[in-house]
Homo-oligomer: A and B are copies of this chain.
């Protein structure tokens, strides 16, 4: 085959890391390696920033064999690096777009696959529009979804979410055991990621799948959070049992949409006289201590919930890889401005299809938890949520360990 008709592809990652985002890169690379249409396979370091800076990596050099692809799929976070750069409004300032296209042309890149969340899909949307408007027909821009928050429209769920959900479900099952060993009234409040969407917090309910009690209460960030109801809930449960385990979203807000942490902490200052911004769990810990007076502890699952590759969901990793494959296929077929997506056909048996959806329908929107996934008291989830979540955490990856520590593939 002549060089002229072979395509060069570029893949990049953006937004917060997850345990499964590298599987999407592995999916892109595997389709590219298998295709006779593909010549160069580039990765850009640090997302669209790397495209602007021309920091490209030759992935054929870095990924030498099928074992490397497996290791890459098992390595958490973003092996190509990430960025938080949102491109300027196309109508107001074309400078960045001109530079991006110039750099892509310089390397004869025909396909650009961008893996990420809302902001990244905004980049795909704008850049694909720019190409269409300027008749740049030899460049196809395609998105692949990724976010632990699971808040992307257009896809049933997002790569990275299932693994984070599994980490959260497993961790709550372990915390339940830990919190129940003493005969002491004690409250444990666990803060889960999610400023505007409560999907990850809802995953705490998965600790119940094998007949355990799981969290006593689950407060998502979608309904208004009432401190008075919270105190009543906790007091009521403490009257019946010793240990109370609670899951809350970091973004719980009062009926005025104000974050609980901002509302309560307004007067607090740290040792330097700065306003002290605590997490929601810490704020509720103080409230329990003040209003109820029992032993209380707050826990933040922090970065661990998004990077715990060792407890990744096998389903999530496999689907993430499939979406990378789908995105690469779409790019090779010239489907400009689409995002690879998962369409759920049924919960049980769990069946999905992979589709290409217009990225314009995805970018700059947020998928929140629907009302009927939350109970009427707004302190737990419903069976509909469980049916939705359960398939996403199935299967354990057989991670490769060396010296008792997971092996990882590092690209730069």
Using a CB–CB cutoff of 8 Å, the interface residues on chain A facing chain B are 13, 17, 46, 49, 75-79, 81-84, 166, 169-171, 173-175, 177-183, 188, 206-207, 209-210, 212, 264-272, 274, 276, 283, 286, 289-290, 297, 299-304, 306-311, 313, 390, 393-396, 401-408, 410
Contacts and interface: CB of A to CB of B under 8 A. Distances in A.
Given A77-B181, A270-B276, 10 more contacts: A46-B183, A76-B177, A81-B180, A171-B308, A212-B408, A264-B271, A265-B271, A274-B289, A299-B300, A390-B403
22 contacts: A13-B181, A17-B178, A77-B178, A78-B181, A81-B181, A171-B304, A174-B304, A188-B303, A206-B405, A210-B403, A212-B410, A264-B271, A265-B270, A265-B271, A268-B268, A268-B271, A269-B269, A270-B286, A310-B310, A390-B404, A393-B405, A396-B404
Contact of A77 (B174, B206, B304, B401): B174
A14 B381 CA distance: 35
Contacts of A406: 170, 173-174
A81 B183 contact: yes
A175 B306 CA distance: 10
Nearest to A209: B403
A268 to B, nearest CB: 5
Contact of A274 (B209, B210, B286): B286
Contacts of A306: 178
A404 B46 contact: no
B309 A174 contact: yes
Given A17-B178, A75-B177, A403-B390, A268 B265 contact: no
A299 B306 CA distance: 13
A76 B171 CA distance: 11
Contacts of A395: 404
B269 A177 contact: no
Contacts of A408: 173, 177, 210, 212
A404 B166 contact: yes
A310 B207 CA distance: 13
Nearest to A301: B304
A209 B404 contact: yes
Interface centre among A77, A271, A402, A408 (most CB of B within 10 A): A271
A311 B311 contact: yes
Contacts of A84: 182
A398 to B, nearest CB: 10
Contacts of A264: 271
Contacts of A286: 270-272, 274
A299 B393 CA distance: 25
B403 A183 contact: no
A290 B268 contact: no
A67 to B, nearest CB: 15
A177 B405 CA distance: 13
B307 A404 contact: no
Contact of A182 (B83, B207, B313): B83
Contacts of A206: 403-405
A270 B390 CA distance: 40
Nearest to A309: B174
Contacts of A396: 401, 404
Contacts of A267: 271
Contact of A180 (B77, B170, B181, B272): B77
Contacts of A311: 310-311
Contacts of A13: 181
A122 B85 CA distance: 59
A274 B302 CA distance: 25
A5 B144 CA distance: 71
A387 B271 CA distance: 40
A187 to B, nearest CB: 13
Contacts of A82: 181-182
